[in-house]
């Protein structure tokens, strides 16, 4: 694998370094077209809210512990 193949992953560095706890776990369910992003493992949400652009923000108390992105493939940059 050459450097050009890993560039999108390297672009994640600034994003991860600014997240709570400096850790991110990501999984994608292709069948449901949902991207799950967790800032804590395990993440135990006590509350959640859905934004007008179909992103579910999950909270533990006042802290964001993750987001769920619905219709994820429609948001991908091509």
**Residue 78 pLDDT more than 50?**
no
Q: What is the pLDDT of residues 47-75, one digit of tens each?
A: 999 999 999 999 999 989 999 999 999 98
Q: Where are the domains of the chain?
A: 3-75
Using the Cα atoms of residue 35, residue 39, residue 45 and residue 49 in order, give the sign of their dihedral: negative
∠ CA 25-26-28, nearest 5°, is: 155
Q: What is the pLDDT of residues 8-46, one digit of tens each?
A: 778 888 888 887 777 889 999 999 999 999 988 887 899
């Amino acid at each position: 694998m050459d450097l050009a193949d890993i560039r999108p992953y390297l672009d994640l560095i600034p994003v991860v370094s600014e997240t709570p706890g400096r850790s991110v776990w990501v999984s994608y369910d292709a069948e449901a077209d949902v991207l799950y992003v967790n800032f804590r493992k395990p993440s135990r949400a006590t509350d959640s809210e859905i934004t007008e652009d179909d992103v579910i923000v999950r909270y533990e108390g006042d802290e964001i512990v993750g987001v769920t992105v619905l219709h994820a493939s429609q948001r991908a940059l091509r």
